[in-house]
Chain A
């Protein structure tokens, strides 16, 4: 199984709401990632988890809170977002972080709209 799944596919939330994005992989990968992608732009790295520990935080605002409950799951908790946070949020995984074979497997993304 070489699939990364993400739920929900679409999410509309108000600026005062709290919601969570979920990501799951069963490839035995020990590195997991969150990216943000705006329209017609490349994905931008937000967070990296390596062996369930936060390894990289790209100075992301605290209204985004990642969590890695186990090696297969990755969550992104959202609170008090702004309209400019509307984007496609992509989850990815790789065997380990920084390994020679560094290909990443991406999920289909969650399309987030903040109203």
Chain B
């Protein structure tokens, strides 16, 4: 069966450190993978997109990697701040299937 799993349901990181979130998928052939942030009671907000032929993408303090051999994406927030506390969702679109499917999510808390 198809699965998109994010390694931790919850992750606590000390302020200033790098937070690393993991997204693993099974039985998908993604055309691209996206990361979203969701705050409580709000809709997800798009952060980054990475295509299947790209290894790494950066945006300010954010970095995403994509390893189609390992079937895994890593999402890094450097110099983390309490304002980065939120739930982070990976999502992918399969080749030939235009639906966006979300992973299970990781609730990140940055501790001052």
Q: Which residue of B lies closest to A111 (CB)?
A: B41
Does A42 lie at the interface of the complex (its beta carbon under 8 Å from any beta carbon of B)? yes
Contact residue range for chain A? 20 to 34
Does B45 lie at the interface of the complex (its beta carbon under 8 Å from any beta carbon of A)? yes
Chain A residues at the B interface, C-beta cutoff of 8 Å: 4, 40-45, 48, 55-56, 58, 88, 90, 92, 97-98, 100-109, 111
Check B49 against A103 for contact (C-beta < 8 Å).
yes
Listed by A's residue number, 12 A-B pairs whose Cβ atoms lie within 8 Å are: A42-B103, A42-B104, A43-B44, A48-B99, A88-B41, A101-B49, A102-B32, A103-B34, A106-B44, A107-B43, A109-B41, A109-B43
In the complex, number of A-B residue pairs with CB atoms less than 8 Å apart: 54
Check B43 against A42 for contact (C-beta < 8 Å).
no
Chain B residues at the A interface, C-beta cutoff of 8 Å: 32, 34, 41-46, 49, 89, 93, 98-105
For A43, list chain B residues within 8 Å (CB): 44, 89, 102
